[in-house]
Structure 1
Amino acid sequence: MFTILLALSAGMLGYFLTEFGKREFLRESEAAINIEIAMLSTLAETKNDNLVPYIKRRGDNDPIVRFRYESVNGTLIAGAIDPMPNDIENFMEGVLRFTLNTADGAQVFAAKIHTFDDGSRVIVARNVNELITSHETLKHMTWMVMVLMLAVVIVSFGISYFVVSRINRIAATAQNIIETGDLSQRLSIDSEWDDLSSLATVLNEFLEKIESLMSGIREVSNNIAHDLRTPLTGLRSDIEALKNQPADPRKIDTLLADADRILGIFHALLRIANIEKGKRADFFRDFDLSRLLLDVAELYEPVAEEKMVKLETHISPGLFIKGDRDQIFQMCTNILDNAIKFAPPHSVVRVLAAVDGKRIALRVEDRGQGIPDHEKDDVFKHFYRCDSSRSTPGNGLGLSLVQAVVNQHQAKIILEDANPGLCVRILF
């Protein structure tokens, strides 16, 4: 509809400019000629023989106007139009058009004929060559405007077709996802230069994120069921075995330990969920990361000594960051706990922190078995445990919490090989 209306507007504009321009300059010329004829008629009625001198004087003073005053039999009495031109045409009703030679070459004149009462007549011609040239220029410009508007019509139709077809494809894909629940579908992208392609790219990333989250939810649900089934089964068996038997403090302690382990898993999951919500970001404050790391190292010094692991710290003073101190403390304890847990006896675990360019870099290195490259992205998933750590106590939620805290503080975590061992590097 827009294309059709724009095309009609272009046609009407072109017609208006050409026809209106032509009529206006013809009316102007006819009005000027009528004034000349009225003056001549007035002079002819006075019968003072002023008509011929006026025609001569007027023709000499104004080169735009030319006259031919002739008798009844056509003999020239006065005026510069002699002889009569042969290319006389009708300009419009009552107005003639012909060509006369001038100092500037052949020029187009518009003329009218007036007959006096005695039968003589006068031809009054006015040079309209400049007006015709202007009208031709206007016609050319009108055609240029119409061509440009036609281009606008074509481009607008192409854009509308392109936009509507892309939107319909996006809507069809979205509707299909709603009906089938298949989040693996993606919007097709034919180009990279237009806004709709950028929108489709963002929507594809959005769908990919949703698919990843849904997959994570399913995986977490399966892992929760798997990790809780064993302790709950054992807990039920132990409780059932206590029926009709005297209370055994050792059995009760075992049951409490199993219950605490289950509660610990749920507590860890809830803590990760609260961190990922990001509700505490408004309460971030500046604090001394150097002091916090020294506190963490001091807390885990006895744990390291018990495992016969040497704990070294190389922490630059005055490293201040903005964040949640409790979350960062929990994150650091998780990383250091893992490093000591997997470090072999008589090895070294290092905690390093310093300014690295425009960032603060925290490094925790151990000399354990490390993490294979193909598992470095998976270790941050809930309940994921490497093959080498299956026999080590834990629930696979430690690094998930670390990742949640890192994301909350817009930091970056990188797992690197320490050759041997693992280096956990965090950039604030």
Structure 2
Amino acid sequence: MLFGVIALLLFGYLYREITGFEQERIDDWLIREHAQLKRELPDVLVARFEHQNQFDPRRQRPFGLFDASGKHLAGGYAGDQPAIPVFDKPFSMRLANLPGHPPGRCIAARLPDSRIALQCQNTLELDHFDDELLHALLSTAMITLVIGLIGASLIGISAMRRLDAVTASIEEIVAGNLSRRLPVHSKRDDVDRLVGVVNGMLDEIERLMNEVKGVCDAIAHDLRTPLTRMLGGLERAQRRAKTEAEFRAVIDETIMETSGLLRTFNALLRISEIESGVRRAGFASVDLAAVADDVFEFYEPAAEDRQISFELRRTVSGPLEIQGDPNLLFEALANLVENAIKFAPHGGAVRITLWQHARGAGLTVEDNGPGIAPAERDAVLRRFYRGEASRHTPGSGLGLSLAAAVAAMHGMMLEFHNADAGCEISLFKPTQSHLAHNR
């Protein structure tokens, strides 16, 4: 309808301009004739009007000269003087004394001797042209409106089909099928761009839901064993313990198990806090080199106790500045170093390397322990996941999950590298060109 209204307005404008141009052309001619008439001598006007009448047998331009009483003196406009609404300006009227009373455009002049000179242009053909033009424009406007409505209907049907398909997919997703995605059209238009964003959101929601389910399953699985041990120990103490020392031993064991459970839950809460991004508002400029120095100093005694060679190597001079939270970055790097020291063999080696190049700026933690199999590298970032190499090592399986959460919060990447022996993990802030290349 909007398209049709615009078309009607356009055709109305064309009609007014075209007809107005024709009338303006006639008025210009009348004004020129009127000016010429004013310059003529009164004695020659009768001869001039009669001469003009001889060369206008069809009365297309009837002129008339009338005396003061309105009687016809000369010219092709026969009969008495008609009523004249205005002098010296063009006006429209019916040429009543001509056959068929055609419409006309006229100009009248009052001469010094009280005679009236009337000059007209028969506009019957012009009116016929205007009628034909109006008919043609209205017909074209109706055709345009019909075509516009048909086109709008086709577009609307296509859009409704797409909306129906999207609605059906959303209803299926709401019903519980999180693997369903909104359909993408082959045209890749603006709607498909929106659908692509929504599908990406659904991928993330599905991942989070699966992660929540995995976390719940992992909590139930990993906490069942310590809770069972606690319950069994308390029941044995209830049945068998006789002395204060035996009761104290059971209490100490229960406290140890409870402390481990609290550490696990604190780690989960810590990861949730980091993933919520509430601490992003407090970001400031942080020197990764200074964070690495603090972590190295903190874990150096633990490495010495296990006779592990612990090294901090710098490949760049000066600070490595990024925007972030120094405490969270310390915690992430500490988890990587703690895992490296934990899994490095007695008398092994652990190294922290600071670097900066085209990929970005960051640090790499290396050890010569059992390493992580390539097939498990994505899995170890999930909460509570324990690889085969770490299944019998104390821990909750949350260290790498926490490091990954900190990296995501800071726009950093946690990347595994293929190493000849052991494990090699990098935590770094990528450059824009590196991100574009990965996309």
Cα distance in 2, alignment partners of residues 426 and 57 from structure 1: 102
8 A Cα contact 2:344 2:367, kept in partner: yes
Partner of 1:301: 300
**Letter in structure 2 aligned against 1:396:** G
Q: Are 1:379 and 2:374 an aligned pair? A: no
**TM-score, normalised via structure 1 length:** 0.72
Identity over the aligned pairs, expressed in percent?
31
Per-residue displacement from partner, 1:366-422 (whole Å, max 9, x unpaired)?
A: 122222222111111010111222122211101010011111111111111122222
Q: Following TM superposition, by how much is the alpha carbon of 1:303 offset from its aligned partner in structure 2, in angstroms?
A: 2.0
Q: Are 1:94 and 2:91 an aligned pair? A: no
Change (3 A) 1:129 1:360: same
Partner of 1:233: 228
Q: Could you tell me which of 170, 174, 183 is aligned with 1:174?
A: 170
Change (3 A) 1:354 1:15: closer
State the aligned residue count: 374
Q: Following TM superposition, by how much is the alpha carbon of 1:24 offset from its aligned partner in structure 2, in angstroms?
A: 9.7
8 A Cα contact 2:350 2:365, kept in partner: yes
Per-residue displacement from partner, 1:160-218 (whole Å, max 9, x unpaired)?
A: 3333332333233222332x222111111113532211111111111121111111111
Matched ranges for 1:188-227 at <5 A = 188-227=183-222
**Letter in structure 2 aligned against 1:246:** T
Cα distance in 2, alignment partners of residues 320 and 140 from structure 1: 74
Cα distance in 1, alignment partners of residues 278 and 311 from structure 2: 35
Partner of 2:80: none
Change (3 A) 1:68 1:288: closer
Deviates more, 1:124-133 or 1:183-192: 124-133
8 A Cα contact 2:19 2:130, kept in partner: no
Partner of 1:321: 322
Per-residue displacement from partner, 1:311-355 (whole Å, max 9, x unpaired)?
A: 121134422332211111111110011112222334322101122
Q: Following TM superposition, by how much is the alpha carbon of 1:219 offset from its aligned partner in structure 2, in angstroms?
A: 0.8
Cα distance in 1, alignment partners of residues 22 and 377 from structure 2: 84
Change (3 A) 1:144 1:395: same
Change (3 A) 1:129 1:422: farther
Structure 1 residue ranges without an equivalent (≥5):
37-47, 70-76, 80-91, 97-109, 112-123
Per-residue displacement from partner, 1:118-143 (whole Å, max 9, x unpaired)?
A: xxxxxx87599999999989988888
Partner of 1:290: 289
**TM-score, normalised via structure 2 length:** 0.70
Structure 2 residue ranges without an equivalent (≥5):
34-42, 65-73, 77-98, 106-119, 430-439
Partner of 2:411: 410
Cα distance in 2, alignment partners of residues 167 and 412 from structure 1: 38
Deviates more, 1:256-265 or 1:126-135: 126-135
Secondary structure of 2:197 counterpart: helix
Partner of 1:268: 267
Per-residue displacement from partner, 1:240-280 (whole Å, max 9, x unpaired)?
A: 12226323343332222111111111111111111111111
Secondary structure of 2:223 counterpart: helix
8 A Cα contact 2:307 2:347, kept in partner: yes
Cα distance in 1, alignment partners of residues 20 and 313 from structure 2: 94
Cα root mean square deviation, aligned:
4.6
Cα distance in 2, alignment partners of residues 396 and 355 from structure 1: 30
8 A Cα contact 1:334 1:399, kept in partner: yes
